[in-house]
Amino acid sequence: MLDTLSGAALALQKSITRSVGELMGNETDGGVPLVAMAGISKSYGGAQACVEVDFAIRAGQVHALLGENGAGKSTLMKVLSGDITDYTGTIHIGGEPRRFARPADAQHAGIAMIHQELDLVPALSVAENVYLGREPRTRLGTADFGAMVDGTAALLERTGIPIDPRRAVEQLRTGEQQLVIIAKALALDARVLIMDEPTSALSSHEVEQLFGVVSELRAAGVGIVYISHRMDEIGRIADVATVLRNGSVVKEFDVGSMTSEQASEAMVGRKVEALFTHESVAREAELLEVGELRLSRKRPVPGRRDPRGISLRVHAGEIVGLAGLLGAGRTELLQTLYGVGAKGRLHGRILLNGKEYRPSGVRNAMASGIAYVPEDRRIEGLSLDHSVTANSVLSTLSTIAWNGFLRGGSERDAAARMVERLGVKTASVRTAVGALSGGNQQKVVLGRNLVTEPKLLLLDEPTRGVDIGAKAEIYTLLTEAAKQGLGVLLASSELAELIGVCDRVVVLRDGVSVREMSTARLGEAELLAVSMGAASLDESRGEDG
């Protein structure tokens, strides 16, 4: 599907020299795996996080580690990276038995973990970050910036990462920052890279770039552990896969010989009904009409792509997708409609239920029947320290409370109903929301918005970092809610999600809605191509209203 594009990316990568191997040392040969973990067990209190797990990483291999949240993936990788020390079992590195006492030991042994959180100093340049803590010196004893820049440039060129080493990290996009972290790990002679959900914050284009680098590293003999919830990525990038469930290895296979259904089944331990269950319903009344929406402000905010001409419609009972690359203005459109983050003059028209709607703040949006699930639940969605109850009733507190006084019982009842309706897995409604898994946290954010009984639901990346079981449940919830007449505007960088869940997709590019397509016969490659602006790809199709 993506052959044309990724092919082009690969060709580009291959034209760059392939000498990363020199950087890695020469231990890429022979049958001895880079890392062999055997009989690894670890328990927290009474709960077994890992049970007798065997796991091997070979040079030049991308090894996918699959499993739902809580299956033991992170625990296993923390054992390998020296984060967890009180485990049982053995680890051999290049045939030598090792037991790491701290993360630094693992790093010295060539094992680098690329965290979901980005461990970079934003104000420093790429080169300074790469050399952080081991800066080359000039004869005067001062830091040798020239040497740093040269060394970093050489490193980036070898790995095919097109970033200027002099740029400050804070100016880079998330995907580029991720590549810098990889470069930094390589500079420290990493032979094993552990990548935990590396694409969760990347746009499709950046994913391609990352995959290019991963291919390059594989060719150079680096062993890579790849943790992801996205089956399509596993199919494209991984060589072998290990599936964990409840702390045990339940399946190992060559990626070429499996289907994503088989992998999903192994992960959840039962047959997964089709991930996407959405069927188009007859269109009901028009709910939202946005016409030539434009936001102008005196001073543009760097990194923000305000609407510059967006037109779209959402009918009641319809799920409309917002596609586009990172920086295409999807989040900004949703925020503008919700009345947040956009101080400036609005041009164009917004009709909600046929009546003119002027976004002027959260309370106005909520009163107009609009709900918004933000992109990052940890940053914008939840107060992690606080209970499920406190988080889930926050938007409806005034209807539950009596004249400004809380009614604890009613609140807990309301929270319990939400937990029941959305199938949130939690010990009680008093549990701190931060203790829940990502998928269940997301359900709490979703639930808080659904209980306001909105007419229009704005969703930004609703399944990011959510495991496959919870993902399917969220899709079902959305579909059900749409059947009840809710209109949904869903922004996502996951192409399969847009195509599988939505009735129609509107593609944004640089803050402009460039195309609207029915998802009925739409392929991912075509959607990506339109998002990237490759208008040549089968222009005749998809221009449908």
Partner 1 sequence: MNAAKGLEEQLPGTRSNGATVIATIFKFQSLFGLVAVFILATILDPETFPRPDNLLDVVRASAENGILAVGMTMVILIGGIDLSVGSVLGMASVGISVLLAQSGFGMWPAIICVLGVGLVFGILQGIANARFKIQAFIVTLAGMQVARGIARIWSGGQGVSITYQSQGGPVSDAFAFIGGKTFGGTVPIPAIVFIVIAVLAALFLRFTTFSRHVYAIGGNEKAARLSGVPVLWTKILVFGICGLLAALAGIVHAGQLNNGDPNDGQTYELDAIAAVVIGGASLTGGRGGVLGTVAGALLVGVLRNILALRGVNSDLQLIIIGLVIVLTAGLQLLRPASMRA
Judged by the rule CB under 8 A, the positions of this chain that interact with partner 1 are 43, 45-49, 70-72, 246-247, 338, 340, 362-363, 366, 372, 374, 379-386, 390-391, 394-395, 397-398, 401, 404-406, 425-428, 431-432, 434-437, 440, 448
For residue 385 the two structure tokens come to 């320290």
Contact residues for 71 (Cβ-Cβ < 8 A; gap 6+): 244, 245, 246, 247, 267
Residue type, 141: G
Q: List the one residue out of 72, 69, 111 whose CA is nearest residue 91.
A: 111
Name beta bridge partners: 251. 243
- Min CB(396)–partner 1 separation in Å: 9
The full length of the chain comes to 545
Q: What is the DSSP letter of 381?
A: I
The C-alpha atoms of residue 421 and residue 477 are separated, in whole angstroms, by 9
The C-alpha atoms of residue 177 and residue 172 are separated, in whole angstroms, by 6
Angle ∠(168,170,173) on CA atoms, nearest 5: 110
Q: Indicate if the alpha-carbon torsion angle 282, 286, 292, 298 is positive or negative.
A: negative
Contact 499, 524 (CB under 8 A): yes
The C-alpha atoms of residue 215 and residue 503 are separated, in whole angstroms, by 35
For residue 11 the two structure tokens come to 């060709």
- Min CB(270)–partner 1 separation in Å: 12
Strands (E), 185-285: 192-196, 223-227, 240-245, 248-254
Strands (E), 297-344: 308-315, 319-323
Q: Indicate if the alpha-carbon torsion angle 65, 69, 71, 73 is positive or negative.
A: positive
Q: Return the number of the residue (61 or 75) whose C-beta is nearest partner 1.
A: 75
The C-alpha atoms of residue 114 and residue 116 are separated, in whole angstroms, by 7
Q: Return the number of the residue (360 or 428) whose C-beta is nearest partner 1.
A: 428
Chain position carrying tokens 């490193």: 155
